[in-house]
């Protein structure tokens, strides 16, 4: 057995435990979000079939084939090629610069045959969750006048398997920091639905006007990893009513610097490929937040068989998104030169199968080596739609993916 084969087998074994596969001689990693998320849970499992339903179901493949066929028909009807405007040319130039890196990362994935075999088995998992019915819309729930009266009920199980007893705790649902400080998962109830909260996690559910309540009284209690996934204005999301979006100017008011730890913070911002948005972030948003840009990571989206979810050169539907990284410091000096901030290699690639629309892969572990200040990292995720262990999740629907329908049951079932 040669050294390369041994490394591949070691990497595969590590992947089965961690959910992260690092390709040899590459700046790319593959993430199985389900494996990564399940490390936050002691008694429940995130359902792979529920997470990957968009890209593993036969219906999706048939729909995509039909769309591709229609696209070809539309292309034949086009008489003139589309002439790119100045902004579109800039976006295309940015795409052409990163394209070789993306292709090399994808080639690394296609060359990892053992990993591809594991990815192919995801389709066979059957979701055993018995939950049904329409999901609760926390956005709508938070808008009604009764919102301050809604509560979340925690059901704690204590004692041994034989002498187990239950304890309930009832807390306000909105505008309140709700925490599971135990080392085990907790089942909670809101109205008639069940939700699963991982160990050592907490959330604050509110609209943008209440985010100041997250600001710590002292900066040494602040956060040194700040992940932000804004609901950027998006025509597709608006048409499909997937989630409410906000104009760009609203994000200028996010108190990023006030949330930052005394020793600084790594800020990770998800964004789409629109050139207008990229310019806004670089010229207005980061400067307003006090963030110095340092690197861009790319999330390359693939299907269960390893193929890209769309053609790499498809102008308006490219199969990747950007993660912009920057450092925020409470000191006036340029963040790039603070002693506690590490250099980050640009153009790193994260490959994964996407979940539901707008759901991002869990990236905390990939970023921890770059986080300044204390360990374990004090993490906050803004505009979160799920709750993770060791992190504060803020947004108007942080429990969206905690609904028990996204879980396949207890580990001992």
- Measured CA to CA, the distance from residue 9 to residue 27 in angstroms comes to 19
Nearest to 315 by CA among 106, 93, 80: 93
- Measured CA to CA, the distance from residue 17 to residue 39 in angstroms comes to 9
Contacts of 171 (CB under 8 A, 6+ apart): 151, 152, 154, 178
Homologous superfamily of domain range 1-74+85-413: Vaccinia Virus protein VP39 (3.40.50.150)
What is the predicted pLDDT for the residue at 381? Answer: 97
- Measured CA to CA, the distance from residue 9 to residue 84 in angstroms comes to 47
Residue-wise over 302-318: b if at least 16 C-beta within 10 A, else e?
A: bbbebebbbeeeeeeeb
Could you tell me which residues are beta bridge partners of residue 393?
A: 203, 381
pTM for this predicted structure = 0.88
- Measured CA to CA, the distance from residue 184 to residue 180 in angstroms comes to 8
What is the predicted pLDDT for the residue at 240? Answer: 52
- Measured CA to CA, the distance from residue 174 to residue 134 in angstroms comes to 21
What is the predicted pLDDT for the residue at 213? Answer: 94
Nearest to 102 by CA among 175, 16, 27, 165: 27
Contact indicator for 210, 246 with CB cutoff of 8 Å = no
Note down pLDDT in tens along the chain; length 413 residues. Answer: 556 666 667 788 889 999 999 998 889 999 999 999 999 999 899 998 889 877 665 444 444 444 444 545 555 555 566 777 888 888 888 999 999 999 999 999 999 999 999 888 775 554 444 455 567 889 999 999 989 999 999 987 654 444 445 678 999 999 999 999 999 999 999 998 999 999 999 999 999 999 999 999 988 899 999 999 999 987 655 555 566 889 999 999 999 999 999 999 999 999 988 889 999 999 999 999 999 999 999 999 999 999 999 999 887 889 999 999 999 997 754 555 565 688 899 999 999 999 887 899 999 999 999 999 999 999 999 999 999 999 999 999 999 999 999 998 765 54
> Is the bond preceding residue 376 a cis peptide, omega within 30 degrees?
yes
Locate the domains of the chain by residue range: 1-74+85-413
What is the predicted pLDDT for the residue at 308? Answer: 96
Distance linking the first and last C-alpha atoms of the chain: 40
What is the predicted pLDDT for the residue at 208? Answer: 92
Cα 223-227-228 angle, rounded to 5 deg: 125
């Amino acid at each position: 057995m040669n050294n390369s084969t041994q490394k591949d087998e070691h990497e595969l074994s590590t992947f089965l435990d961690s959910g992260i596969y690092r390709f040899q001689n590459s700046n790319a990693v593959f993430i199985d979000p389900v494996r990564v998320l399940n490390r936050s849970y002691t008694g429940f499992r995130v359902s792979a079939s529920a997470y990957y339903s968009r890209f593993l179901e036969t219906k999706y493949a048939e729909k995509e084939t039909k769309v591709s066929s229609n696209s070809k028909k539309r292309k034949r009807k086009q008489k003139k090629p589309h002439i790119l405007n100045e902004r579109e040319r800039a976006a295309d130039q940015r795409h052409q610069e990163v394209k070789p890196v993306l292709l090399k990362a994808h080639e690394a994935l296609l060359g990892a045959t053992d990993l591809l075999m594991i990815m192919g088995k995801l389709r066979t998992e059957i979701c055993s969750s018995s939950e049904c019915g329409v999901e609760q819309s926390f956005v709508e729930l938070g808008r009604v006048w009764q919102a301050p009266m809604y509560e979340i009920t925690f059901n704690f199980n204590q004692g041994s398997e034989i002498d187990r007893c239950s304890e309930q705790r009832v807390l306000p649902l909105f505008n309140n920091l709700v925490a599971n400080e135990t080392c085990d998962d907790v089942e909670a109830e809101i109205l008639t639905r069940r939700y699963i909260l991982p160990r050592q996690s907490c959330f604050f559910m509110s609209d943008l006007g209440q985010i100041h309540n997250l600001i710590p009284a002292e900066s040494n209690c602040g956060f040194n990893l700040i992940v932000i996934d804004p609901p950027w204005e998006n025509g597709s999301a608006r048409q499909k009513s997937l989630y409410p979006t906000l104009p760009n100017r609203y994000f200028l008011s996010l108190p990023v610097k006030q949330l930052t730890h005394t020793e600084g913070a790594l800020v990770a911002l998800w964004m789409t490929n629109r050139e207008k948005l990229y310019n806004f972030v670089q010229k207005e948003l980061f400067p307003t937040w006090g963030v110095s840009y340092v690197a861009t990571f790319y999330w390359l989206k693939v299907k269960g068989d390893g193929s890209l979810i769309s053609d790499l050169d498809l102008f308006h539907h490219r199969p990747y998104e950007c993660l912009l990284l920057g450092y925020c410091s409470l000191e006036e000096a340029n963040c790039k030169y603070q002693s506690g901030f590490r250099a980050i290699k640009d153009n790193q690639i994260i490959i994964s199968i996407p979940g539901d629309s707008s759901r991002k892969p869990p990236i905390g572990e990939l970023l921890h080596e770059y986080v300044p200040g204390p360990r374990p990292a004090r993490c906050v995720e803004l505009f979160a739609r799920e709750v993770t262990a060791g992190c504060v999740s803020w947004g108007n629907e942080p429990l969206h993916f905690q609904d028990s329908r996204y879980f396949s049951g207890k580990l001992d079932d």
